[in-house]
Amino acid sequence: MDIERVYQEWLSSPRVSEGDKETLRQMDDFTKKDAFFKDAEFGTGGMRGILGPGTNRINIQNLGRVTVGFGQYLADLAPDAKQRGVVISHDNRFMSREFTLEFANILNQMGFNVYIFDALRPTPELSFAVRAKKAIGGIMVTASHNPANNNGYKVYDENGCQLVPADAAVLLGYISKLPDALHYEVPQDPNPGKTTVLSEEIDGPYIQAVESIQIRPELDKSDFSLVYSPQHGASYESAMRVFKDCGYHVIPVAEQCVHDPAFGATLSPNPEVEKAWILPLEYARKYHSDLVVMTDPDGDRCGLAYLGKDGEYHRLTGNQSGALLIDYVLAGRKEKGTLPANGVIYDTIVTSNLGSIVAKSYGVATESFLTGFKYIGDRIHYYEKQGHGPEFLFGYEESYGCLLAPFVRDKDGVQAILMYTEMTLYYKSLGMDLGQAWQRLQQKHGFHYATLRDVYFEGMEGNAKMKAMMEGLRENPLKEIDGVPVVEIRDYQKQIALKDGKEEKMDHLPKSNVLKYFLEDGSTICVRPSGTEPKVKFYLEAVGQSEDGLEEKTSRFNVAMRKLAGID
C-alpha cells in the first residue's frame, strides 16, 4: 500500500471529519504507518483495533463499508431477509452508540428492519435476541477486554452464532467487491426498513432463561455473599437482576458499575489480568465476601476469585475454573438424574485436557475445536439441525469463556457467574473452598498447570516478523523443547500431524495458523497468532503426579520456545 498517497487521500476526503483530519495531521511517522500500512481485517473474533482515522483503524468509514457488505450478504441468504431484520447491540466504549445508530441507518437505507436496544447490552443477550426475534443476523459493537482506545465489530448469523470461516469467506467476498472506505455507496432500497427499540421484551426472557440453569437453587444462601464487577461494561443490569432474583447477597463494585468508556476506575478491563482485580478484591476484603466474580466489558467472559481457608483471595484460571465447573455440573446432573447417556462437552485445541478427562469419568464425550466460540455454537446448531446426536452439556475456552445452556450461541458471562456462584456456595456447604475442591479434582484425575504467554509484534514490521516466525517453525520442525522430546506436531494450517517420522492427514477442522507440540512427558505447547491483536500466543501445559515443579517447567518451556522461534 502507498501509505503517503492513501494518507493524503484521507486528509482531503469530504467523508473524513475535521476532527479526524486534525488527528491525521498530528500523526508521527510510526503512527501514520501503523494507521495505513494495511486495511483493517476480520480475524477470529471479527474486527477489533484502535479507534481513529486510517485504513487500519476502527472508524465509521471502515465499519460502514463492512456493514454494507454484511447487508448484501444477508440479503442473498433468504427472500425475507430484510423483513426479518438485523439486531444490533453495543458495549460501553467510545463511539459504540454512534456506530450502532449509523449501522442501523445504513441497513434501513438498504431495506432492512433493524432492532437496537435502548442502551448497551452484553454480547450473550445480542445472541439471544437474534434467536428470539428470528432475525437474519446480528452485529455486536465491542472490543471485548481491549484497552479503552479500542473498539470493534462482530457479526452473527441467524442462529445467534458468530460466522464460521466458510461463511465469513463469503461475506468477505461481498466486502471486497465494494469500493474502498472513502468511496463506497450505500444501496438505496425503494422500501426503507424501520428501526425498533428493544428493552424488557428481550431482557425478561433472557434473564429467566439464565436463571433456569441452576442445579441446586435450594441451597441456603443466608451465610454467603459475593462481590461483583462488570468492569464498566454491559452486563451490570442483567447480572444484578439475576443475582437478586436467585436470592444471593451481592455487593457491586460501585465505581466499576458506571458505564465509563474511559474505564476510569480500573487499570484493565480484562479479567485475565491481575491489575483488573485490585478494586474488586479491596471490596471483598472489606466485606469478607466468599467470592468475587467479574465479567468483561461486553459480558461474554467471566473470572473469579475465592476466599481461601487461609483468609486470602485466590484467582482461578479459565482452565481451572472450567474443569471445576464441568465436574460440578456433571456431578449435580447425575445426582438429580438429568445426566443424559449421550452427553457432550466442547472445548478448544488450546484448552487444558483436564476438562475432557473429567467429562470422560462421567461417561461424557468431548469434541475439540479451533479457538473461537463460533465453532462451538456452530456445532450445537449442527446437531440441532440433524434432530439427533449428543446432548450439549457445557462448552468452554481457556480464556474465561463458557456456555452452560444453548439458548445463547456464544460465551455467556452471566450464565457463568451464576453457576460459579452456586458452585462456590455448594462447596462452602460441604466445608470446602474452591482451592480445596481444585486439589481434590487433581488428586483424582492428575495434576495440571496450564498458562498463557503473549509476545507482541507492533506495527508494519511486527506483522512481517510474526509471519516469518511461524514459517520458520514450520520449515524446521522442533525435535525437543527444553530437553524434552517432541513426539507429535499438529499443523492446523497444513492439516497434517507429524508423528514417528510420518505425516498423517488431519482435516477434521478448518485450516488455521496454529502449531501444537505434544511432548514425551505429556506436556503440550500450542503456538497461535492472535486473530484480533498483533501478538503470538504460547499456550503451555505441564502435567504430573504432583504440583511440584509444574509452574517452573512451563516457564522453562516459554523461554525455550522464544529462543527456538527466534524471538529476542
Cell (9 digits) for 217: 437453587
| Torsion angle of C-alpha atoms 14, 18, 23, 29, degrees rounded to 10 | 40
Cα–Cα–Cα angle for 247, 412, 42, rounded to 5 degrees: 160
User: For the purposes of burial, counting CB atoms within 10 Å of the CB of 125, is it exposed (0-12), middle (13-18) or buried (19 or more)?
Assistant: buried
Handedness of CA 496, 499, 502, 504 (dihedral sign): negative
Please tell me whether residue 197 adopts helix, strand or coil conformation.
strand
Residue in 303, 265, 251, 299 with CA at minimum distance from that of residue 142: 299
Cα–Cα–Cα angle for 69, 127, 344, rounded to 5 degrees: 120
- State the first-to-last Cα distance of the chain, in angstroms, to the nearest integer: 28
DSSP string over 153-175: EEEE-TTS-BPPHHHHHHHHHHH
Cell (9 digits) for 540: 503451555
Please tell me whether residue 458 adopts helix, strand or coil conformation.
coil
Q: How many CA atoms, within 13 angstroms, populate the side-chain half-sphere of residue 183?
A: 8
Cell (9 digits) for 353: 485436557
Whether 144 is catalytic: yes
Residues 6+ apart with CB under 8 A from 91: 120, 122, 123, 140, 141, 142, 143, 233, 234, 297, 298, 299
DSSP string over 260-283: -TT-TT-S-S-TTSGGGGHHHHHH
Cα–Cα–Cα angle for 473, 368, 216, rounded to 5 degrees: 140
Cell (9 digits) for 14: 469530504
DSSP string over 312-329: -EEEE-HHHHHHHHHHHH
Cα–Cα–Cα angle for 296, 273, 95, rounded to 5 degrees: 40
- Helix, strand, coil fractions of the chain, as percent rounded to 5: 40, 20, 40
Please tell me whether residue 93 adopts helix, strand or coil conformation.
coil
User: For the purposes of burial, counting CB atoms within 10 Å of the CB of 354, is it exposed (0-12), middle (13-18) or buried (19 or more)?
Assistant: buried
* Catalytic residue from among 89, 96, 127, 144: 144
Catalytic residues: 144
